[in-house]
Amino acid sequence: MKTQTILFLILAICSINLLAQPKINVPNTNVDFGKQSYQNTPQKTTIIIKNTGTDTLHIEDVRPGCGCTVADANYKKNLATGDSTTVGVTLDIKNFSGKVSKHLDIKSNDQDAPSYRVMLNVDVQRPFELRPKYLSFDRVFVDEQSDAEINIVNTSGSDAVVKSVTSDNAAITVNLKKDDVLKKGESYKLVATALTDKRGSLRSKITIELFHADENKLEVLVYGNAINKE
């Protein structure tokens, strides 16, 4: 009888150990920063991580999905049952425009959720938007003029006056000039013209300096490839 009791206790303890497991819980897995000016960077938030399981939760890593996101490493790595920790997170939005979604993954020993994803959402507001984001020439023939277009949209509440326009490649010029007005709420069609006597990659950066309360410079990247005409 005594032996059976001991065996029963051993089996009971083993069963408890087998059933015990950590469980990760993050109350907010979808962080929404709402509408934010691109100048209001970085955006900051705090992620709460809880262990709602019955065994110790080991947080192995908090891994951002891109270089624009940084997670503070000063969080508790081991959480007992019922324990919690916080992770400070920053999102650099200065180079974004419009709706943006980024993420970070929390790695742990939770067998049911070894990689737990948290989404970071923001709608980045800029006074000017480039549509599309860069200017591309479909095809450029050597010694022949080619045009490409991009729209500059003034989403701000005031007009902008062009102070200067420069191209770092003499083979590419644009129709926008000094004293032109980019009216609020309207779109301006920027036309770039390429004319080169050389084959190969055709790149440029168009710098537009402005008189405007919220933005004093726009940069338009230009891509293309010049080939000989058959």
Cα 45 to Cα 86: distance, rounded to the nearest angstrom: 10
Which domains are seen in the chain, by residue range?
Answer: 22-125 (2.60.40.10), 128-227 (2.60.40.10)
pLDDT value, residue 41: 95
| In contact, 85 and 59? CB cutoff 8 Å | yes
| CA-wise closest residue to 47 among 153, 120, 130, 152 | 120
| In contact, 136 and 130? CB cutoff 8 Å | no
- The 10s digit of each residue's pLDDT in 192-209 is 999 999 999 999 999 999
Residue at token pair 């004093």: 216
- The 10s digit of each residue's pLDDT in 7-40 is 555 555 554 455 789 999 999 999 999 999 998 9
Ranges of residues in the chain with a pLDDT under 50 are 15-16
Q: Which two tokens stand for residue 226?
A: 């010049």
Helices then strands, each counted (H, E), the chain: 1, 19
pLDDT value, residue 4: 62
pLDDT value, residue 95: 87
pLDDT value, residue 13: 54
CA distances from 5 to 9, 18, 157 (A): 6, 20, 81
